[in-house]
Amino acid sequence: DAGVIQSPRHEVTEMGQEVTLRCKPISGHNSLFWYRQTMMRGLELLIYFNNNVPIDDSGMPEDRFSAKMPNASFSTLKIQPSEPRDSAVYFCASRRGQHGNTIYFGEGSWLTVV
């Protein structure tokens, strides 16, 4: 079975540019999460979707960040404009069913903003 698929795996961009990260969750999973990992803050939840609807976006750092899930098999996380402090690993994850079930992570998108 295919796991969570993220693209791009690595991205280097200049400050001010728009960055779009993409995610395909595991088929049949109805919850999708975007996490960010940095040395300073560890793993932190940015946003959570259930059945394609954003449920909790309290972790989104600021208006420069936006996320969409137009259908059950695709989500994007967009940063516009990007800043050097956005450099991090961004993980997409998905889960079937209710809270408490296992959340499976993609391989991450390594973003560097110079």
Partner 1 sequence: AQKVTQAQTEISVVEKEDVTLDCVYETRDTTYYLFWYKQPPSGELVFLIRRNSFDEQNEISGRYSWNFQKSTSSFNFTITASQVVDSAVYFCALSEAGGNMLTFGGGTRLMVKP
Q: Is 100 in the site for partner 1 (CB under 8 A)?
A: yes
Q: Is 53 in the site for partner 1 (CB under 8 A)?
A: no
Options 33, 34, 65, 90; binder of partner 1; rule CB under 8 A: 33
Look-up of token digits 């975007």: 34
Which two tokens mark 92? 């997409």
Q: Is 2 in the site for partner 1 (CB under 8 A)?
A: no
Q: Is 99 exposed, middle or buried (0-12, 13-18, 19+ CB in 10 A)?
A: exposed
Q: Considering the complex, what minimum distance in angstroms separates the CB of residue 48 from partner 1?
A: 5
Q: Considering the complex, what minimum distance in angstroms separates the CB of residue 83 from partner 1?
A: 22
Options 56, 83, 84, 114; binder of partner 1; rule CB under 8 A: 56
Q: Which stretch binds partner 1 (CB under 8 A): 20-28, 60-68, 75-83, 94-102?
A: 94-102
Q: Considering the complex, what minimum distance in angstroms separates the CB of residue 72 from partner 1?
A: 17
Q: Is 32 exposed, middle or buried (0-12, 13-18, 19+ CB in 10 A)?
A: buried
Which two tokens mark 101? 């079930």
DSSP state, residue 97 = S
With vertex at residue 69, the alpha carbon angle to CA 34 and CA 79, rounded to the nearest 5 degrees, is 55
Residues that bind partner 1 (CB under 8 A): 31, 33, 42-43, 45, 48, 50, 55-56, 89, 91, 93, 99-108, 110
